Structure 1
């Protein structure tokens, strides 16, 4: 299976999940759901460890340049997220009046209710939240960089080796099975096809925007590094398809990290930037949220303008920082903004959740694939 390659295994898992989900009895899907529950809980437990294990020693090893690298990476990620939101706004403003002119408003229940539940669950609570892990990693890394001692740095390097063993021996081998179970359960529940049947035009536009923006990101990275942007993008495809199944930027960190190094990013830069970008770079999710929000507003005959959407886009980049660790977390984190800044009522929120969850994995896939381009840019700009 190792020789088969990760990307073919992921594609095979997706296809098999869709096929199996159409005719397999309920008990078998629940067996897969039980595995997914256990594996998902383990991933949730491991995510803070991955963040600390990679970011803290990464900052510490960079030394005096750590503060500069941290600020540059954060600024580039936030700028990318805002540009993505503006792209979605102008595309929706130009296209929605035409492509959605004859669409009727329909409400949906939360599609996650259609998924079969596992036979049992084992709680594997993480030692801390994603944001807490990120802050701790910053504090430890910057502290080690300032003190320039070797004791704690050596401990953190060994801790990173332990995390890498967990990734290599447990997470990577089981990822295709996890993705297989996710797609089988989604297909059996039928919620994706029911939602997309109404929002197909919006869905297609969002995917096109994702691809367009990835091309923009890799064109910028390729031009800066004098590399073929499409070759770089092709190298990152395993990360895209992994995120497509897991629906979590943080859970895809191991694959994204491996691919980022293969497109030429230095190991020490990738070890620092990829886990950080998985938490703060949300270009795909922003495209999806802005596009979905404007579609719901149009279907509900609610007015929108650049003046009302710009503050919403600016706040999305901040509010959703902790969302990548949780599948579907972006829309849940954005509910408060939709309510307070755009005036969404309960019906509009229901529509928003339904539309977003139907293609959450594609936004996440755009997020993590773009992380490779931004890592390459940071690597080039870092002196």
Structure 2
């Protein structure tokens, strides 16, 4: 009986199972609200398991990639980082343009949350990022500090490459493969997890609170979609000179859907690593670029920061000229790169952008409060954009190299099931 069920599930694509879980979650929230606390457990367990295994997975995969690295077997990370930064900046431009086209004002009666501690400026954001690099490796793993995890994994991996014996490298490779296998087990619980997350979100969404911020949500979500379906395809096409939409839609469907419900770029790292593998990308590169992207590739966050900061400026009647708007794009880009890879991480960077308009911390923290009110939809869409583009630009950089070599085929942009 159990083997029959297991075989049946194995024959159905995981994305279809997730769709079923999504529908069931909505039905439970609408028809059986008393059951929400029960099914919510599945969602909490799924996200907790992903967050728990992700730091260990990243640490061993990156360390193994550096230790096993061949001198000419690894491409440069520069094209990927360049795409990350460029896309984040252009996304902030989209957010600023949308804000000018559809100026939004806020009802700033939301009480500031005194427990929040936003950075005092861009210098502090950069300072915190630099300190994260030299964090204690054990503490980095415990606190999911991915910058620190990446730094130590790279350093230890390079040291092992030059010092460790073949047996030790083989042992490290076995550990990396074992943890990857554990991650695949966790991911196969996604349908139950999504069911619980959806039921909880629909049951506790607070639609009444959202009604007053429909225009703000429309500007934000419209910006996310413009970036995902217009700007990103243009960037990808400029690199690979082929129809970008098969790859765009694949990353949205197979990465963005997970991230939409988990609302955490960090929790989506295992999902993105698995998708990169199915796309046939170079593991020496994607095992580094994906966790790095979860930290610095934040197109959605840059949109959120710029749109909410401009909404505050419009509310207060502050005239924003073109040079100030460009400065806001730069501030939003740098701030987004410092945003945490967890739910709502970008909201705490809003006061940094507001400060460029001379808006006081008391008022900017009320804007943060507005951000939390609409975060049910806003943060989910933002994270879906952030996380799906980690795979998108990692693939784009590699496909661009294949195009130059004349080996890129259209079928390369379709994931292969193993």
Aligned match of 2:249: 234
Report if the CA contact (8 A) 2:108-2:366 is conserved: no
2:398 to 373, 379, 382: 379
Deviation at 1:244, TM superposition (A): 0.9
Deviation at 1:106, TM superposition (A): 5.6
Identify if the C-alpha distance between structure 1 residues 233 and 348 changes in structure 2 by more than 3 Å, giving closer, same or farther.
Answer: closer
Larger radius of gyration between Structure 1 and Structure 2 = 2
Report if the CA contact (8 A) 1:6-1:238 is conserved: no
**Gap regions ≥5 residues in structure 2:** 1-8, 114-139, 403-418
Aligned match of 2:65: 58
**Which deviations, in whole Å up to 9, do the C-alpha atoms of 1:286-307 show, x marking residues without a partner?**
2233223322332343444444
| Rounded Cα–Cα distance in structure 1 between residues aligned with 2:241 and 2:279 | 12
Report if the CA contact (8 A) 2:33-2:203 is conserved: no
Q: Given the two structures, how large is their TM-score scaled by the length of structure 1?
A: 0.81
Aligned match of 2:23: 15
Alignment of 1:1-383 (within 5 A): 1-26=9-34, 28-64=35-71, 69-93=76-100, 95-97=101-103, 100=104, 105=107, 107-108=109-110, 127-130=142-145, 131-144=147-160, 150=166, 153-169=169-185, 171-191=186-206, 193-215=207-229, 216-236=231-251, 237-321=253-337, 323=339, 325-332=341-348, 334-338=349-353, 340-342=355-357, 343=359, 344=361, 345=363, 346-380=365-399
**Which deviations, in whole Å up to 9, do the C-alpha atoms of 1:278-334 show, x marking residues without a partner?**
2221112222332233223323434444444544543444445564542222223x1
Q: Given the two structures, how large is their TM-score scaled by the length of structure 2?
A: 0.75
Identify if the C-alpha distance between structure 1 residues 82 and 141 changes in structure 2 by more than 3 Å, giving closer, same or farther.
Answer: farther
Identify if the C-alpha distance between structure 1 residues 163 and 194 changes in structure 2 by more than 3 Å, giving closer, same or farther.
Answer: farther
The CA RMSD measured in Å over matched residues stands at 3.2
| Greater displacement, 343-352 / 315-324 | 315-324
| Rounded Cα–Cα distance in structure 1 between residues aligned with 2:375 and 2:325 | 18
Report if the CA contact (8 A) 2:141-2:149 is conserved: no
**Which deviations, in whole Å up to 9, do the C-alpha atoms of 1:121-160 show, x marking residues without a partner?**
xxxx963432322222232234345658645543432221
**Which deviations, in whole Å up to 9, do the C-alpha atoms of 1:62-86 show, x marking residues without a partner?**
4446997234433331222112112
| Greater displacement, 51-60 / 181-190 | 51-60
- The SS at the match of 1:166 is helix
Deviation at 1:48, TM superposition (A): 0.9
Aligned length: 361
| Rounded Cα–Cα distance in structure 1 between residues aligned with 2:164 and 2:325 | 45
| Rounded Cα–Cα distance in structure 2 between residues aligned with 1:138 and 1:13 | 38
